[in-house]
C-alpha cells in the first residue's frame, strides 16, 4: 500500500501567492521529504527485522547480523533446497526471490525489503515459501 502524499500543489500555490517566501517554501517541502524518508527507512528496518527473524527460524543468515542490510536479507540455504525450483513455484504466484550468484548460487538466496514493498508483501512471500516448502 502506498502511503498518503500531502497535497503539496495547493501548499506551493499558497506559499508563492501568499508571500511565505522562498525560504519557508523550501523548509516546508524539505520537511515533507525528510518525514517521508524517515517513514520509509523505518519501514525498511521493520521488514528487515521480520525477514531476519524468519530466516533464522527456517534457515540461517548468511552475513554476521551486525553487517546485515536494511534493504536485502541474504539467507544461507541450510536445507539444501533447490532455490531455482522454489523460484519457479513463487513465479506461479507472481513473486520472485533472488538466487545466490557465482559460488553462492543455490547456497544462498536473497529476499529484498526495500522501495515500495510493505510488511504485507514480506509476509506474503515468506508465507508462500513456507507453504511451498511445507515448513509450517
- The total domain count for the chain is 1
In a domain, 90, yes or no: yes
- The string of pLDDT tens digits covering residues 56-71 is 999 999 999 999 999 9
What secondary structure letter does DSSP report for 120? H
Asked whether residue 42 is domain-assigned, the answer is yes
In a domain, 112, yes or no: yes
Buried b (16+ CB within 10 A) or exposed e, 41-61: eebbeebbebbbebbeeebeb
Give this prediction's pTM: 0.76
Write the CB contacts of 7 (distance below 8 Å, at least 6 apart in sequence). none
In eight-state DSSP terms, residue 110 is E
- Whether 2 is covered by a domain: the verdict is no
Domain residues for 67? 8-133
CATH of the domain at 108: 3.90.1150.10
* DSSP secondary structure code for residue 101 in this structure: -
* 20-76 per-position pLDDT tens digit: 556 656 666 677 777 788 888 999 999 999 999 999 999 999 999 999 999 999 999
Cell numbers describing residue 15:
506559499
Amino acid at each position: 500500500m502506498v502511503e498518503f502524499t500531502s497535497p503539496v500543489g495547493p501548499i506551493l500555490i499558497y506559499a508563492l501567492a501568499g508571500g511565505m517566501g522562498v525560504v519557508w517554501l523550501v523548509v516546508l517541502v524539505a520537511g515533507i521529504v525528510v518525514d517521508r524518508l524517515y517513514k520509509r527507512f523505518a519501514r525498511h528496518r521493520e521488514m528487515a527485522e521480520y525477514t531476519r527473524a524468519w530466516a533464522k527460524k527456517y534457515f540461517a543468515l548468511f552475513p554476521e547480523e551486525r553487517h546485515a542490510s536494511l534493504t536485502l536479507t541474504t539467507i544461507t540455504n541450510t536445507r539444501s533446497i533447490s532455490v531455482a525450483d522454489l523460484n519457479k513455484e513463487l513465479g506461479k504466484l507472481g513473486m520472485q526471490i533472488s538466487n545466490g550468484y557465482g559460488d553462492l548460487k543455490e547456497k544462498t538466496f536473497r529476499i529484498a525489503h526495500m522501495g515500495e514493498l510493505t510488511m504485507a508483501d514480506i509476509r506474503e512471500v515468506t508465507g508462500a515459501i513456507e507453504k511451498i516448502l511445507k515448513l509450517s
